Amino acid sequence: MTGLPLASAARRRLAWLLLLALLAPVTIVHAEARVLIRFSHVVAEETPKGLAANRFKALVEQRSDGRIRVDIYPGASRYNDNDEMEALRLGAVEMLAPSLSKFGRIGFPEFELFDLPFLFDSIEDVRRISQGPIGRRLLVQLGRQGLVGLGYFDNGFKQMSANRPLLEPTDFLGLRMRVQSSRVIAAQFRVLGARPVSLPFSETRRALATGVVEGTENPVSNFWTQRMDQYQTDLTLSRHGYIGYAVVANRRFWQSLSDADREVVSSALRDALDFGNRIAGTQNEKALEELRQAGTTRIHTLSPAQRARLRQAVQPVYDELAGRIDAALVQEVQETLRP
Ligand code: LMR
The predicted-structure confidence for 251-300, as pLDDT tens digits, reads as follows: 999 999 999 999 999 999 999 999 999 999 999 999 999 999 999 999 99
Do 239 and 35 contact (CB within 8 A), yes or no? no
Q: What is the pLDDT of residue 13?
A: 58
pLDDT of 47: 98
Tell how far the Cα of 227 is from the centroid of ligand 1, in angstroms: 14
Residue 12 pLDDT grade (very low, low, confident, very high; cuts 50, 70, 90)? low
Render pLDDT for 92-119 as a digit per residue (tens, 0 to 9).
999 999 999 999 999 999 999 999 999 9
Separation of first and last alpha carbons in the chain: 53
Q: Which of 48, 41, 40, 42 is nearest to 221 (CA)?
A: 48
What is the model's pTM?
Answer: 0.91
Amino acid at 117: P
pLDDT digits (tens, 9 = 90+) for 15-70: 565 555 555 444 444 446 489 999 999 999 999 999 999 999 999 999 999 999 99
* Cα–Cα distance measured from residue 82 to residue 144, given in angstroms and rounded to the nearest whole number: 20
How would you classify the pairing of strands 95-96 and 34-40?
parallel
For residue 195, list its beta bridge partners.
176
Q: What is the three-state SS of 130-193?
A: HCCHHHHHHHHHHHHHCEEEEEEEEEEEEEEEECCCCCCHHHHCCCEEEECCCHHHHHHHHHCC
Closest ligand 1 atom to residue 41 Cα is 8
Domain-embedded: residue 103: yes
Q: Is residue 3 part of a domain?
A: no
Asked if residue 104 is part of any domain, the answer here is yes
Atom of ligand 1 nearest to the CA of 200: 2
Which of 39, 40, 42, 206 to mutate for ligand 1's pocket (most ligand atoms within 8 Å of CB)? 42
Ligand 1 centre and the CA of 65: distance in Å? 32
Q: What is the arithmetic mean of pLDDT over 320-338? A: 96
Residue 93: name the closest of 110, 122, 73 by CA.
73
* Assigned domain for 6 exists: no
256 occurs within a structural domain: yes
- The Cα 275–Cα 65 span in angstroms is 21
Catalogue the E-assigned strands of the chain. 28-29, 34-40, 68-73, 95-96, 147-162, 176-179, 195-198, 216-218, 234-250, 298-301
Number of domains within the chain: 1
Write down the pLDDT at residue 7. Answer: 44
Instruction: Give the residues surrounding ligand 1 with Cβ less than 6 Å away.
Output: 42-43, 49, 99, 155, 180, 201, 218, 222, 243
| Structural domain harbouring 185 | 12-337
- Nearest alpha carbon, ligand 1 atom 1: 201
Residue with CA closest to ligand 1 atom 2: 201
As a whole number, the mean pLDDT across the chain is: 93
Inside any domain, residue 2: no
Q: How confident is the model at residue 249 (pLDDT cuts 50, 70, 90)?
A: very high
Judge whether 50 lies within some domain: yes
In Å, how far from its chain's centre is CA 97? Answer: 7
* CATH, residue 101: 3.40.190.170
Residue 219 belongs to some domain of the structure: yes
Q: Whose CA is nearest to atom 5 of ligand 1?
A: 99
